[in-house]
Structure formats: C-alpha cells, structure tokens
A and B are shown apart, each in its own frame.
Chain A
Amino acid sequence: MMTTTTLQVQAQASSSFAIRIPPSSFTSPLTRSPHRFVVRASVDPSEKSIEIMRKFSEQYARKSGTYFCVDKGVTSVVIKGLADHKDSLGAPLCPCRHYDDKPAEVGQGFWNCPCVPMRERKECHCMLFLTPDNDFAGKEQTISLDEIRATTANI
C-alpha cells in the first residue's frame, strides 16, 4: 500500500499536528504512485486561500497603482504567507513581521493586509505592492496560480 503523508507543523504555542492521507492510498495496488512514503514537513496554505489572496493582490495593485516585484518569487511567497495567516488566524496578517501575539494583532488590525502603512503611504515592506519608482518594481499587476506554484516549488 502506497501512502503519501503530509505533516502539517505549526511552531506556535498551541501546536497542532494534522496528518492528511489522500484517498488514493487505499485504492488497488495496481494504481501505484511512483512516490513512496513522501513526508514533507513544509506547511502549505489552502488552495482556496491562495486563490483569494492572489485575486486580492491583483485587484489591490491595480487600485493602488502599484506593481509586483520583478522577481515574482517574492510576490508568490508573500501571497502564500497572506493565505497561510488567513487559514490560521482568519485574517491576512502581514507575513513579513514578527509578532508577540498574532490573534491580538489580527484583532487590532494595523497589520492586516492591506496594512495601514500601505493604505496611508503605499509602503509595503513585503515587496508585494511596489510604487513605479521602486528599483524592484516590475511592470506587471497580474500573477497566475501557475506562476505562484512554480516559483514556490522549493519552499
């Protein structure tokens, strides 16, 4: 029986471990997967949240007249970070900050994307929304799910 197990690990005070075993592991031995016992310790946000944050990022870049980074990998990582916080905290807390108490920060709201510095001064230290004069700003305000997958495949 081939099993693909993904361990989801959260290194927070309230640690939770979730093991997902895809249904394919219980099918006939004839449908063997080439991958045996793949255990990945990386945490990946849900597809749904990634899609929501991807759409949000495109919309907000258009609305604010900002552009994505020349290196779309940066954009992708931040979008995944926002999706990850949306999954775990219910709101897209800025992934480029360290917090003492994340739920409290979500409640307070200052660092919920789009954060106050971005809304007030178009300052995004995550390098997600870049003003045209920024050295790292590209010319695009769009990013596809394929791009996100491709550029974050090794994380």
Chain B
Amino acid sequence: MAVSVWASSSTIPSSKYNNLFAAAASSSSSFSNSSSLKFPLQRLPVTWVCSPSPSPSRPRLLPLVKAKKQTFSSFDDLLTNSDKPVLVDFYATWCGPCQFMAPILNEVSTQLKDTIQVVKIDTEKYPSIANKYKIEALPTFIIFKDGEPYDRFEGALSADQLIQRIENSLKVKQ
C-alpha cells in the first residue's frame, strides 16, 4: 500500500532524502502500480508536503519545487520521520469541501512552514489508514504529534481559522 500525500511548497532539507527524490523521479509510472504492491516490502512514491528550509544558513540541495514526492514504506514511517507535528488532511476526490480546502492548505503550509508539515491522504486509495483513525466525515484533519493523534477536527474552514486552530492546539503542549 502506498501513502500518497500532496505537497504544497517544498524543499528537501537534508541529504537523506536524495535517494527518495530519485525514486520520485520515476514516480509517475510506479504510482499506477501502487495499489498492487504490498507494504512494507515495497517502497512506493509518496508526495510529501514540505515547506522551504527554515534555516537560511543550511544549504538547500535542490531547488524549491511546488509538489514534492517522497517515498515512505508506510504512513507510520512518514509520521516517525517527521521532525515537526504533522497536519493530516483525510479527503476524497469527489468531496466538495475537501477540494475547497486544497488551496487553503497550500497557503497554510507556506505560512506555518516552521510549525507543521501538511500531508493529505486520499481515503479512497488508503481505506485502511482511514479506518484505523476512524475517519467518518470528510474532510477530517488530524494533528499528529510524536506520531500520535493530538488534535482532530472536521469540516472546511478558512486559512485564518485553520492557522488559529493549529496554533492554539500546539500551544497547549508547549
């Protein structure tokens, strides 16, 4: 099973992602095979939503790209490898509010680049992940901290409301 996540703006912050980026180069052909592969044996292309490198002194290895695909062997792997809290958007192709949120998520990802990573999961492609987290209404947003669900809310909201919600949620833990 592949974990597919959509990127808004991104860079590759460290060299460990180089081999993943190479895998992503051929992602367009392998993506169509993803439903037939079992995980965790196969490494499958994933579009990882990253944000520009926070530290200007750290050399950027690759140019800033709009959509970033990286490979993770599982959703858990993705969560563990993240050094920041992860906002996961569970969506479906034909869910109106989910499509409405797409540009808003791009904006929020850019604005909160140091605070949070934004990831989108297509619940039709990865129903087991959606079932695991008991997703019902779409869109559902879950903020993961240290690999565990930390906050959860449903429905479309504006960029300001979303930023507010994320900041309030993460503030409590600090």
Q: List the interface of chain A (C-beta within 8 A of B).
A: 9, 11-12, 15, 41-43, 69, 71, 73-78, 80-81, 84, 95-98, 100, 125-128, 155
Q: Are A96 and B92 in contact (CB under 8 A)?
A: yes
Name A10's closest neighbour in chain B (CB-CB).
B124
Per-position 1/0 for B113-153, Cβ under 8 A of A: 00000000011110100110001111010000000000000
Size category, B interface: 20 to 34
Name A136's closest neighbour in chain B (CB-CB).
B156
Q: Are B99 and A95 in contact (CB under 8 A)?
A: no
Question: Could you say which residues of chain A place their CB within 8 Å of the CB of B140?
Answer: 98
Q: Please tell me which one of the listed residues B94, B96, B130 contacts residue A98 in the complex, with CB atoms under 8 A apart.
A: B130
- State how many angstroms separate the Cβ of A112 from the closest Cβ of chain B: 15
Q: Are A155 and B96 in contact (CB under 8 A)?
A: no
Q: Check: B42 CB closer than 8 A to any chain A CB.
A: no
Q: Please tell me which one of the listed residues B90, B92, B127 contacts residue A81 in the complex, with CB atoms under 8 A apart.
A: B92
Q: Are B35 and A125 in contact (CB under 8 A)?
A: no
**List of 5 A-B pairs having minimum Cβ-Cβ separation, nearest first:** A81-B94, A74-B96, A78-B96, A77-B96, A96-B95
Whole-angstrom CA separation of A43 from B154 in the bound complex: 25
Name B124's closest neighbour in chain A (CB-CB).
A11
Given the interface pairs A11-B124, A74-B99, A125-B155, the reply to whether A155 lies near B93 with Cβ below 8 Å is yes
Q: Please tell me which one of the listed residues B32, B154, B156 contacts residue A127 in the complex, with CB atoms under 8 A apart.
A: B156
Question: Could you say which residues of chain A place their CB within 8 Å of the CB of B94?
Answer: 77-78, 80-81, 84, 95
Whole-angstrom CA separation of A144 from B93 in the bound complex: 21
Whole-angstrom CA separation of A11 from B99 in the bound complex: 19
Name A100's closest neighbour in chain B (CB-CB).
B131
Whole-angstrom CA separation of A155 from B156 in the bound complex: 18
Whole-angstrom CA separation of A155 from B32 in the bound complex: 17
Question: Could you say which residues of chain A place their CB within 8 Å of the CB of B100?
Answer: 71, 73-74, 127
Q: Are A125 and B137 in contact (CB under 8 A)?
A: yes
Q: Please tell me which one of the listed residues A41, A73, A98 contacts residue B136 in the complex, with CB atoms under 8 A apart.
A: A98
Q: Are A96 and B138 in contact (CB under 8 A)?
A: yes
Whole-angstrom CA separation of A119 from B93 in the bound complex: 25
> Which of A71, A73, A127 lies at the interface centre, i.e. has the most chain B CB atoms within 10 A of its CB?
A127
